[in-house]
A and B are shown apart, each in its own frame.
Chain A
Amino acid sequence: MKVLTIALNDLKMEFSERTTLVFFLLIPLAFTFAIAQGLGGSGGSSGGPDLYPVAVVDEDGSMLAEQVIQALQKTPDLQAALLSADQAAAALEDGEALAVLTLPAGFGEALAKGQDVPVRLERASDELEARAAAQAVENGLARVDSAVQAALAAVNERRRFQDFPDAEAEQAFFDDRLDAALRTLQNPPASLRMTQSESAAGSADEIDAATQASSGQLVTWTLFTLLGVSDMFVGERLLGTLRRLIASPTRPSTVLLGKLVGRLAMGWTQMAILILFGGLVLGVNWGRSPLALLVVAVSFSLAAVAFGVMIGAFAKTRGQAGGLTTLCALLLAALGGAWWPLEITPQVYQALVKALPTTWAMFGFNEVILRGADVRAVLPEAGMMLVFAALFFIISIPRLRFA
């Protein structure tokens, strides 16, 4: 079949250059690996620290400060060490402590009086770990704070009934009530329970960041490959081989189809490799339905290759084709939610980017991966991408010049 001959010929040409493998395989694999590594550190099934190391500097020494330290040490997420100011500063710089809490002199006294007391919480960096550690410290502090306030309120109520005989009695009462409050807050009455929509992983905590990033990486790299069909068109047009193809008894539709098949084969192979690599080596969870994944991947590839043909129809030189390919691949990937999640963007933005095929690809992949969706659930997304493909083809095919 001529279509296959043309497709195979294209593949032969692409891979006769050793550099193709670099773009096709090495770089995507390397990136996927590196990013999974980096994000995997934020917890989840791919591991991560069980305890966040933090340091506490006690410039106060009061009993309340002691309570704070104990509370932090009891916090399951934290490994709290008591250090001097200098030691703490050094630990922060060395990265041995993710956060440092400094309790200033007069902390206990002011707090016990019901005053507003500032404390300094220093975070090592913007990294996810450091943020999480700092948050855990704040939660611990909040518990102690609540207990103190509760004890203060108890003292007030007590006073309504009867004044304290002396300051010591008041202090004793306060301490006792503080203990009680702390105990109460260990097992507080009101709590929340997380449940989740049908999800591939099964529990809200199990989806790790590497899995979330995996679909974005897939989209980004295969986009480069598929849009690259434009260079093939422009290159062959300038080389004269496209013209020669038309001069032979080969229909233009056959030529187009042949090139599409070749390019799609490349794209699918790349996706398969990335998916397998992610799944087998990095432990990425690709959802419950391989068929749904396939449907999303294939419809995405069609939309992408159609976009590539569009670039090929409009570009006049290989430089233009290459530049536009890079530009569009990066923009489409970024805007469509492959690099950062759409949910943190404004509503207007979210509405506007629905005009991009990559946005729908990310929707589809997320459904499969995060919700464990089956084929039926992703049909709308797949359908949209096919519409895009059709649209791009309609725009570009009449404009394709073979000579």
Chain B
Amino acid sequence: MSKLLTIALKDLRIAFSDTSALILMLATPFAISLAITFAFGGLGSQGGSGIEEIPVTLVNQDDGLFGELLVETFQSPELADLFAPEMLSSPQEARQRVDADESAAAVIIPAGFSDAVFQELTAGEASAEVEIYANPTRPISVSVVRSITGSVLGRINASYAAGHAAVEGLIASGLLDPQQAGEVAPQIGQRAGEQVFNARGIRVERVQVAGQREEASEFNWAGYFAPSMAIMFLMFTVTSGARTLLAERDNGTLQRIFAAPTRPWQMIGGKVLGTFLIGVLQMTILALATRFLLGVRWGPPEAVAALITAVVFAATGWGVLLAAYARSAGQVEVAGTVISLVFGAAAGNFVPRFNLPAWLQQASYISPNAWGLEGFNSLASGGALVDILPAIQALVIMGAVLFALSLLAYRRQMV
């Protein structure tokens, strides 16, 4: 047993004395997590989309109520963080801003907009149309502008519908003379409209299938990418452990270990234990660092610890399998990198998992990355140990199967 530990500790010492490996192991995933957190909402926040200060150009050629309303919405204090509005007087100038990529969109309210809306009340011909001139390189910003504009227009239309319904109803009930309507209608319409403008009856409670209420309807990038990067670099680390096994065979230290009375399982066990410890250490450091320095929430500590252990166990299994079947240290290096990248991409380490095709998501379950990512996501959005038990189970089985396969290979191959 102590031989096992000795070998494991030797590997740990070597791993932590190799600066370039250390950089890759720890600094890279941390740097990426840092970058991502910074990219998505700054330090200390829970994350969420950091879209802010969308530059939007406004042109209001209307001299009525509704144009003013639309402009005020974009300039409102509530939306002050989201938008950086700029008022211009010329539509051409506004479009130029967009063309020059200085603005995400130009919202152009035509002259007579409010009147056109009101005209519906009586005539019903011209339609009041707001133009949004979009910047094609900022599709997300554009969709936000569009959505806000759309909702204001929705309110305007609701008011209009209210006024229209009221006046029409009165005329139909014979309480209002069509000739009189012209004088009184605007007043009625306005009152009805005002009543309706901010009224809402239906309140939507958004729920995601896992049963958790989501705080932000936007995707939590930082919370997703911190564990994602940690897992991906874990795979790099364990395959590197595999490489050292073969490097030892190549440069003769392996034979030397066997020349001393050491059994194969002690050797393998020691290597595996070493790699396992390194992996756990690495992920723990990353989890703690991103938690305390960047405010990324991973979830309840005991659940996170259990999941980390399971993920590292499965990942180590892959590393050992690789070492068992590869012929040279060089081969392991390449195969290890390939596997790390493929698993990483397929499971959703680079591009959020839900954006990948369903078949790929299924296929990626062969990797520890997929299970780990889903598990960590679950924990980060409020889950507990009990929710990730299936994932832990799968990972433990994966690791066990891989170790068994490796032992078979080693038996045949032992130097």
Contact A122 B207 (CB under 8 A): yes
Contact A150 B20 (CB under 8 A): no
Contact A196 B130 (CB under 8 A): no
Contact B169 A204 (CB under 8 A): no
A223 adjacent to chain B (CB < 8 Å)? no
Contact B160 A189 (CB under 8 A): yes
Q: How far is the CA of A194 from the CA of B333 in the complex (A)?
A: 52
Tell me the smallest distance from the CB of B94 to a CB of chain A, in Å. 12
Q: How far is the CA of A200 from the CA of B136 in the complex (A)?
A: 9
Q: What A residues does B156 contact at CB under 8 A?
A: 189-190
Contact indicator per residue, chain A 169-198, by CB within 8 Å of chain B (1) or not (0):
000010011001100110011111111111
CB neighbors of A among B101-132 (8 A): 104, 113, 116-117, 120, 127-132
Q: What B residues does A323 contact at CB under 8 A?
A: 20-21, 23-24
Contact B355 A335 (CB under 8 A): no
Contact A34 B360 (CB under 8 A): yes
Contact A128 B49 (CB under 8 A): no
Sort chain B's interface into a size bin: 35 or more
Contact indicator per residue, chain A 309-328, by CB within 8 Å of chain B (1) or not (0):
00000000101101110110
A276 adjacent to chain B (CB < 8 Å)? no
Q: Closest chain A residue to B19 by CB distance?
A: A320
A22 adjacent to chain B (CB < 8 Å)? yes
Question: Most A CB atoms within 10 A — which of B27, B39, B66?
Answer: B39
Q: How many A-B residue pairs have CB under 8 A?
A: 312
Q: How far is the CA of A197 from the CA of B102 in the complex (A)?
A: 12
Q: How far is the CA of A1 from the CA of B24 in the complex (A)?
A: 39
A305 adjacent to chain B (CB < 8 Å)? no
Contact B28 A327 (CB under 8 A): yes
Contact indicator per residue, chain B 321-356, by CB within 8 Å of chain A (1) or not (0):
000000000000110011001100110001110111
Contact A37 B136 (CB under 8 A): no
Question: Most B CB atoms within 10 A — which of A34, A189, A200?
Answer: A189
Contact indicator per residue, chain B 147-180, by CB within 8 Å of chain A (1) or not (0):
0011001101110111111111110110110000
Q: What B residues does A114 contact at CB under 8 A?
A: 199, 201
A249 adjacent to chain B (CB < 8 Å)? no
Contact B134 A180 (CB under 8 A): no
Contact A157 B161 (CB under 8 A): no
Tell me if A's interface is mostly helix, strand, loop or mixed: helix
Tell me if B's interface is mostly helix, strand, loop or mixed: helix
Q: What B residues does A127 contact at CB under 8 A?
A: 354-355
Contact B192 A334 (CB under 8 A): no
Q: How far is the CA of A151 from the CA of B120 in the complex (A)?
A: 18
Q: Closest chain A residue to B117 by CB distance?
A: A189
Q: List 22 A-B contacts (CB under 8 A).
A: A30-B342, A38-B360, A124-B209, A126-B352, A149-B195, A153-B166, A156-B192, A156-B195, A158-B166, A185-B157, A189-B120, A190-B160, A191-B127, A193-B130, A194-B146, A197-B99, A197-B136, A200-B136, A319-B21, A343-B51, A344-B49, A349-B39
Binding site for A on B (CB under 8 A): 18, 20-21, 23-24, 27-28, 31-32, 35-36, 38-42, 49-54, 66, 95, 98-99, 104, 113, 116-117, 120, 127-142, 146, 149-150, 153-154, 156-158, 160-170, 172-173, 175-176, 188, 191-193, 195-196, 199-209, 219, 221, 236, 333-334, 337-338, 341-342, 345-346, 350-352, 354-357, 360
The 8 closest A-B pairs by CB, nearest first: A146-B158, A188-B157, A150-B162, A157-B166, A153-B162, A153-B192, A154-B165, A189-B120
